[in-house]
Amino acid sequence: MHNLLTTIAAVLLAVAARPAWAGDPEYPVKTIPAALKENAHIVKRLEETTIRINDLTDVRVNRHYVITVLDEAGANYAKLAVSYSKLSEILGISGSLYDAEGKQVKRLKQSDIKDLSAVDDGSLMTDERIKVHQFYYNVYPYTIEYEISERSYSTLSIPTWIPQSNSDCTVEQSTLKVTAPADFTLRFRSYLYNGEPVITTNRDTKTYAWEIKQIKALKPELNAVEFYRRTPAVFLGTTDFELDKYKGNSNSWKGLGTFFYQLNAGRDVLPDAAKAKVHELTDGLHSREEKIKTLYKFMQRNNRYISIQLGIGGWQTFDAASVATKGYGDCKALSNYMMALLKEAGIKSNCVFAKAGENAHTIREDFPSSQFNHAILCVPGEKDTTWLECTDPYLPAGYLGGFTDNRPVLLLDEKDSKLVRTPVYGMDCNQQIRHINATVDSSGNMMLSAIKVTSGLQQDDLRNAIHRLSREKQLEMLRKGLGLSSYDIVDYNYKELETATPAIEEMIKVKGNNYATVTGKRMFITPNIFARDGIKLELDTTRQSDIRLNMAYRDIDSVEIILPVGYKPESVPTPVSLSSKFGNYSASVLLKGNTVTYIRKMERQSGTFPAAEYPELVKFYGGIYRADRNRLVLVKE
Amino acid sequence: MPCNCMRYIPCLLTCVVSGLLSLSALAQENGKIKFGKVSKEEFTDKRFEKDTGAHAIVLSEIGSSAFEADGGDLRLVYKVHRRVKIVDKNGFDVATVRVPLYKGDTREEKLLNLKAAAYNLENGEVVETRMDSKNIFNDKQDKSLLVKKFTLPAVKEGTIIEYAYTVASPFYRYLRSWTFQGEYPRLWSEYSVAIPEYFDYMLIPQGYEKFAIEKKDYSRVTFSFRTERSGAAGPSDMVTVTPGVTTYHWAVKEIPAIHPESFITTVDNYVRKIEFQLSAYNWPNEARKPVQSSWEELMKDLMKTEDLGGVLNNNNGFLSGTVEDLVKGAKTDQEKAQRIYNWVRNNYTCTDHSALWMEKSLKTVFSGKSGNVVEVNVLLTAMLRKAGLKADPVLLSTRDNGYVYQFYPLLTRFNYMVVHLTIGEESHDLDASEPLMGFGKLPPVCYNGAARTIDEFATPVFLNADSLREQKFTSVLLGKIENGAVAGTFMQRPTYFESYDIREQIKAKGRDEYFKKIAKSYTGEIELTSKEIEDIDSLELPVMTKYEFKMQVGGDDIVYINPLMGEAYKSNPFTSMERKFPVEMTGVSDEIYSFNMDVPDGYVVDELPKSAIANFNETEGVFQYMVQQVEDHIQLRCRIKLTKANFMPEDYSGLREFYDLIVKKEAEQIVLKKKK
């Protein structure tokens, strides 16, 4: 009886919620509460997402949403883009456009939907395609309504619910309903959602419902935590899942790791010629480190990154034999091939799935699920573990760089799959030490030579630049990047240093035109020539997000400037010393005879800091900004 | 057409196919390659490797286009054979090849005979790795474009790759062009085109690198057509014809790479290239049928074409109601035009700013409130005409799309449309595709030389950057110094296009953000009050920015003030030491800055910058920096004025020095000292 009642109620609700397609005004703009227009470019009036999991290979997703676009800045969100591939299908798309009063202006015509290739620039080929639609309307505000129904053939990942799609999007109402067979375990992890989903049980299904109303706009915040931790969000998963006939269990990282391990097992068989090559290269070597290094170099020299992801190819690697003959592969294929090379040399290693990116240091560690987009290789050792990034042809063996450093990653193993952490590169590693010798003549022109040694994460970009850019382009980079008003690069040189932490030495000779300003008998000069990197931040008293600083680093500049004779100081900047939770900074100028000595030291910590500390960060950076631009004024005697 | 670029457009007289072409074939015909025959020497060839830092070198590329019989019709057969040496890892991109194939409603292009291989030198021997044909992918971009993609196996630093393919095309109006120059240097690049006497094609060459081969030959070629017997399934007939065929041949040798530069329309304007345009059919026993031969004829054609000018000949009655409502009560023609223009601009979204045809009917565009740049501006034309005004569509090529070839009507060079409105003696150029553009204004990308009106005279409309005056006025007034801070007022009327950017910024992010950005642009600490932007909604005018400020100047005894405030050129816009191509700016700039201050009580002037005047190339540029002190009043007037937008490469170093001087002078300081 109880069941029947709820069913009737659900049916009634569904009827009530169904949009009327003509006649009465729909979603007139005037009914939007004022608070939801503040700082917003779009307002999500209504969103209903229903997910029906029929079995492990049949997930139906229906999304119905209504968005009011308040102004041109929100116009991009009115575009519809739905991707699909061999593992999913779009069953239907419908839509409507309404003007501010809520009068229907247009309905979506199927012939206006474009079906395009979605092969990204980084890939040679994938199955990804995309259907796009746009109403093209520019009388603001206006409202669009879409309903999309899709089918996924896999349960490896279930769509995520984040009603507020962006910081300048506000939400009137959004619901998520997930229906699954009653004996099925639905896992979920929510953020900033108060309460639990409402669960209703029918004879053989169970429905979980989430609902949220009135979400206000968020302000963009510098160095904020991930967006999904700042707004209501629900992530979903199943325990058992299926991906193109392969079955797995994601109740634990171990289960998920084992699945990926097995999906890729047995693909590490090398052709005989490659095996022979491994022995030729490594049999004479004694240490494990030397073998790893030699094989890594060999792999880097003979292969390149080409991404082909067809069908299950996003998760399953090309086999090692095909990489050996073709000389290319994606991150999985190259890591798997490297693993095969090491195996032939008697060294065990594991493929590791990672979420890569300089701003991707976290995953939802308490919610095992497929959160990865990259593969690297881990070579466990008794003393040291060696990490290998197999898609980069320039990295030294064992160094990962900012793309995959300091984060939880999933190690794939036959028996012992688990989350492990990649290495942390600390302040002592990420340094920039620079010595500058400069001479300024009486008209303000400067000749300088500088030697700069950058290491660790601070040299990642530079390493790329010196390998990837022609000398011409490097020069262009130097011409744009030095921050002087007008200058010529007389000479420059880069040298990779043979140090444990990767480091690059840069030598430059620069002719700076009018570096010092000469006005009559005075000369104005900024002794800090290159390191002007403080920023003016705005004071934000309503800061919500914790502050996340990714990289700890240390910069030291020592500058010696020889001035023309006959000047005496009129105004010399006083030494500055700043200290905060975020780091320490000091700068001092000393004038002795006609020689200026300037020393600047900046140490920045990494970590997550409470939002309340933001004013201190503003003050710290503001102080550096000013101190970095302090001028020395001299008068002719 | 401005003459600055003429030097770079070769003085090859352009010729219709039946014209004369000078024969200048050079003896050395290297570059000949045979598929699969790669010699060891090719791995060690050092040409180009040393100084340019090229990541790859095209050892040889040979292309051809010719006609073949295809059943009862002709088809164009385009062949490419390319051999490239990959110098380092950054050249790996050349090992991935994309071949676009076009598809019409009933016919499509086909890729045939694809062969690809990589060669490596191993232990002194050349080892070949062939690509398996399974590795060719079909990436269907949309319904009319398929891209065939493949990547070569066994590619390392030093690998030589080679591929050859044929594209068979039913679209013989589209004779493929050939670009002899690009991102990588080429040792040999060759193209030949064989044209039967049935067609006249215009040859359109550009660029300034010399040809090593440039010749044409005549021969007779046999074509065998199969014709179906009418209605029956019986045996088909063979028809054989032997027309005269002209074969053109061009090649360049050891041509360097070409790289993009700033202050340029597009570097494509300077690349060595040959393009073709079908100009006439000469079918046997028929009179010569010109496709187009003059601008006038092209425009007359377009005036009839339904998906361009043709729609303007219709009554378009569906526009009447709207137009009548819009012009109701308007007193002058100008007011009528303005109302219509504003309405179209405000209500229509431009979906594509590069277009040459209407893709939808005018009625669909009208009711759908969106269209590409041609559709929106054709709609504007139709509505203006409906109101009884004289309006014509004008075709042009935007700056990034390259120059329009003036000597022959080449429709495909155009990619944009605007509207030319004539009211009595006055005329206005209109573009309704940009929501913030004022009546009578065109976006700067349109200023790319002569545009052509779609009228029976193909009237040229000259849109030269040299004619686009971009003026900016700034005035700053400084007041008292109190508690280490100086107060003042700032007023600026930026150039029209700077104003356009400001309007866009404000539309996207709001006024607050805009002023925050201004505050951030000052080095020192500054507080802005009474912030105003005037004329923001008068889209025909530049805006006026006004604010009051309080700026920290520090030091009690001595105060240093840069009179240019935030307006000084802090760095030279011309960063490179040298320049190969002309400098092409978007307009002629004239910036005037005025500064006034009374020496604050209790201070005396210790030092003032000196006045200075500098000229660039006598009259082409002038920089004035005039300082005056009359009693306690300091006045500065600074002006940077150029008289043209385009400069030759040899003017570059002078231009750079001119701006160096400006940067230097504008950094100078006023020094005030406290009275003792």
**Closest C-alpha among A162, A172, A148 to residue A60:** A148
The lowest-confidence range among A56-70, A176-190, A576-590, B572-586 is B572-586
Cβ of A479 within 8 Å of Cβ of B576? The answer is yes
Looking at residue A10, what is its pLDDT?
39
For residues A444 and A514, is the Cβ–Cβ distance under 8 A? yes
ipTM associated with this complex: 0.75
Task: Check if B490 contacts A (Cβ < 8 Å).
Answer: no
Task: Check if B608 contacts A (Cβ < 8 Å).
Answer: yes
The lowest-confidence range among A124-138, B12-26, B79-93, B426-440 is B12-26
Across A563-621, the runs of DSSP E, i.e. the strands, are: 567-571, 576-580, 583-592, 595-604, 607-609
Residue A521 Cα, gap to closest chain B Cα (Å): 8
pLDDT at B9 over 50: no
Q: Report A:215-234 residues touching B (Cβ under 8 A).
A: none
Looking at residue A384, what is its pLDDT?
85
Q: Which residues of B touch A69 (CB under 8 A)?
A: none
Q: Which residue of A has its CA nearest to B505?
A: A73
Summarize the confidence of residues A298-305 as an average pLDDT: 94
Task: Check if A76 contacts B (Cβ < 8 Å).
Answer: no
Q: Which two tokens stand for residue A518?
A: 């000469």
For residues A123 and B355, is the Cβ–Cβ distance under 8 A? no
CA distances from B403 to B5, B161, B210, B433 (A): 10, 35, 21, 21
CA distances from B468 to A30, B265, B393 (A): 44, 15, 21
Residue A546 Cα, gap to closest chain B Cα (Å): 23
Looking at residue B6, what is its pLDDT?
31
CA distances from B469 to A175, B421, B463, B583 (A): 56, 21, 12, 17
**Closest C-alpha among A585, A444, A580 to residue A519:** A444
Q: Report A:588-627 residues touching B (Cβ under 8 A).
A: 626
Q: Which two tokens stand for residue A213?
A: 């109303």
CA distances from B430 to A361, A620, B434 (A): 52, 51, 10
Counting Cα atoms < 13 Å in the Cβ hemisphere of B219 gives 11
Looking at residue B575, what is its pLDDT?
77
B366 membership: H or E segment, kind and range: helix B362-368
Cβ of A106 within 8 Å of Cβ of B577? The answer is no
- The residue with tokens 């010196």 is A466
Task: Check if B349 contacts A (Cβ < 8 Å).
Answer: yes
Task: Check if B578 contacts A (Cβ < 8 Å).
Answer: no
Among B86, B90, B148, most A C-beta atoms within 10 A, so best to mutate, is B90
Looking at residue A470, what is its pLDDT?
81
Cβ of A304 within 8 Å of Cβ of B92? The answer is yes
Among B664, B665, B666, most A C-beta atoms within 10 A, so best to mutate, is B664
Summarize the confidence of residues A60-78 as an average pLDDT: 92
Looking at residue A23, what is its pLDDT?
57
Q: What confidence category does residue B274 fall into, taking pLDDT thresholds of 50, 70 and 90? A: very high
Cβ of A115 within 8 Å of Cβ of B142? The answer is yes
Looking at residue B298, what is its pLDDT?
86
Q: Which two tokens stand for residue A425?
A: 């590169």
Q: Please enumerate, as own/partner, the contacts of B320-327 that have beta carbons within 8 Å and a separation of 24 or more.
A: B320/B386, B322/B383, B323/B383, B323/B386, B323/B387, B326/B383, B326/B387, B327/B387
Alpha carbon distance B658, B455 (integer Å) = 45
Q: What confidence category does residue A168 fall into, taking pLDDT thresholds of 50, 70 and 90? A: very high
Residue B343 Cα, gap to closest chain A Cα (Å): 11
Q: For B493-516, how does the pLDDT look when each residue is reduced to its tens digit (9 = 90+)?
A: 999 999 999 999 998 888 888 998
Task: Check if A120 contacts B (Cβ < 8 Å).
Answer: no
Residue A2 Cα, gap to closest chain B Cα (Å): 51
Summarize the confidence of residues B444-467 as an average pLDDT: 91
Nearest to B53 among A72, A326, A470 (CB): A470
Q: Report B:97-126 residues touching A (Cβ under 8 A).
A: none
Encoded amino acid at B467, one letter: S
**Closest C-alpha among B186, B205, B196 to residue B257:** B186
Alpha carbon distance B254, A116 (integer Å) = 40
User: Percentage helix, strand, coil, to 5, in chain A?
Assistant: 20, 40, 40
Cβ of B53 within 8 Å of Cβ of A471? The answer is yes
Alpha carbon distance B533, A355 (integer Å) = 46
Q: Which two tokens stand for residue A431?
A: 């340094």
Task: Check if B505 contacts A (Cβ < 8 Å).
Answer: no
Q: Which two tokens stand for residue A45?
A: 């009036």
CA distances from A388 to A116, A325, B578 (A): 36, 22, 43
pLDDT at B305 over 50: yes
For residues B237 and B147, is the Cβ–Cβ distance under 8 A? no
Looking at residue B555, what is its pLDDT?
63
% residues pLDDT > 90 (chain B): 55
Task: Check if B570 contacts A (Cβ < 8 Å).
Answer: yes
Looking at residue A533, what is its pLDDT?
76
Summarize the confidence of residues B435-461 as an average pLDDT: 93
Please give the model's pTM, rounded to 2 decimal places. Answer: 0.81
Nearest to A472 among B53, B129, B156 (CB): B53
pLDDT at A12 over 70: no
Q: Which residues of B touch A468 (CB under 8 A)?
A: 89-90
Nearest to A124 among B142, B151, B154 (CB): B151
For residues B240 and B224, is the Cβ–Cβ distance under 8 A? yes
DSSP tag of A422:
P
For residues A202 and A182, is the Cβ–Cβ distance under 8 A? yes
Summarize the confidence of residues B482-487 as an average pLDDT: 85
Alpha carbon distance A378, A400 (integer Å) = 11
**B462 CB-near residues (< 8 Å, 6+ apart):** B449, B450, B451
Q: For A606-622, how does the pLDDT look when each residue is reduced to its tens digit (9 = 90+)?
A: 999 999 999 999 999 98
For residues B434 and B445, is the Cβ–Cβ distance under 8 A? no
Cβ of B558 within 8 Å of Cβ of A117? The answer is no
Quote the crossing angle between the two packed helices B333-347 and B373-386, to the nearest 10°.
150
Cβ of A486 within 8 Å of Cβ of B53? The answer is no
Q: Which two tokens stand for residue A242?
A: 């299926």
Q: Which residues of A touch B609 (CB under 8 A)?
A: 519-520
Q: Report A:452-471 residues touching B (Cβ under 8 A).
A: 467-471
Q: For A479-501, how does the pLDDT look when each residue is reduced to its tens digit (9 = 90+)?
A: 877 878 778 889 999 999 988 89
Q: Which residues of B touch A306 (CB under 8 A)?
A: 96, 151
Q: For B192-248, how does the pLDDT look when each residue is reduced to its tens digit (9 = 90+)?
A: 999 999 999 989 888 878 899 999 999 999 998 887 665 555 567 788 899 999 999
pLDDT at B26 over 80: no
Among A468, A519, A574, most B C-beta atoms within 10 A, so best to mutate, is A519
The lowest-confidence range among A413-422, B3-12, B87-96 is B3-12
Q: What confidence category does residue B532 fall into, taking pLDDT thresholds of 50, 70 and 90? A: very high
Task: Check if A517 contacts B (Cβ < 8 Å).
Answer: yes
CA distances from B202 to A267, B17, B244, B291, B402 (A): 57, 6, 17, 11, 18
Summarize the confidence of residues A141-157 as an average pLDDT: 95
More confidently predicted of A446 and B521 = A446
B341 membership: H or E segment, kind and range: helix B333-347
Summarize the confidence of residues A363-371 as an average pLDDT: 95
Alpha carbon distance B267, B93 (integer Å) = 21
Q: For A179-204, how does the pLDDT look when each residue is reduced to its tens digit (9 = 90+)?
A: 999 988 899 999 999 999 999 998 89
pLDDT at A299 over 80: yes
Looking at residue A374, what is its pLDDT?
94
More confidently predicted of B172 and A272 = A272
A426-A537-B563 Cα angle (round to 5): 125
**Closest C-alpha among B214, B39, B29 to residue B124:** B39
Quote the crossing angle between the two packed helices A288-302 and A331-344, to the nearest 10°.
140
Task: Check if A328 contacts B (Cβ < 8 Å).
Answer: yes
Q: Which residues of A touch B520 (CB under 8 A)?
A: 536
pLDDT at B18 over 60: no
Torsion sign across C-alpha atoms B338, B340, B346, B350: negative
Q: Which residue of A has its CA nearest to B98?
A: A124
Q: Which two tokens stand for residue A43?
A: 């307002």
Cβ of A136 within 8 Å of Cβ of B89? The answer is no
Cβ of B157 within 8 Å of Cβ of A301? The answer is yes
**Closest C-alpha among B543, B560, B544 to residue B608:** B560
CA distances from A386 to A288, A350, A374, A396, B484 (A): 10, 11, 17, 11, 58
Looking at residue B232, what is its pLDDT?
52
Nearest to A302 among B156, B555, B577 (CB): B156
DSSP for B295-317 reads HHHHHHHHHH-TTTGGGGGS--G
Alpha carbon distance A51, A620 (integer Å) = 48
Looking at residue B71, what is its pLDDT?
84
Cβ of B508 within 8 Å of Cβ of A73? The answer is yes
Cβ of A517 within 8 Å of Cβ of B139? The answer is no
Collapse the DSSP code of A339 into the 3-class scheme (helix H, G, I; strand E, B; otherwise coil) and give the result. Answer: helix
Q: Which two tokens stand for residue B226?
A: 């199969």
Q: Which residues of A touch B352 (CB under 8 A)?
A: none
B667-B501-B374 Cα angle (round to 5): 145
pLDDT at B634 over 60: yes
Residues linked to residue B625 through DSSP beta bridges, in sequence order: B612, B638
Looking at residue B235, what is its pLDDT?
64
Cβ of B558 within 8 Å of Cβ of A136? The answer is no
Nearest to A325 among B55, B153, B577 (CB): B153
Kindly report the average pLDDT of chain A as a whole number. 91
Collapse the DSSP code of A617 into the 3-class scheme (helix H, G, I; strand E, B; otherwise coil) and give the result. Answer: helix
More confidently predicted of B496 and A220 = B496
Alpha carbon distance A318, A323 (integer Å) = 7
Kindly report the average pLDDT of chain B as a whole number. 87
Cβ of A519 within 8 Å of Cβ of B577? The answer is no
- The residue with tokens 């590169």 is A425
Q: Are strands A576-580 and A583-592 parallel, antiparallel or unpaired?
A: antiparallel
Cβ of A306 within 8 Å of Cβ of B96? The answer is yes
DSSP tag of A564:
P
Alpha carbon distance B520, B663 (integer Å) = 20
- 3-state SS record for B89-150: HHHHHHHEEEEEEEECCCCECEEEEEEEEEEEEECCEEEEEECCHHHCEEEEEECCEEEEEE
**Closest C-alpha among B16, B400, B10, B14 to residue B206:** B10
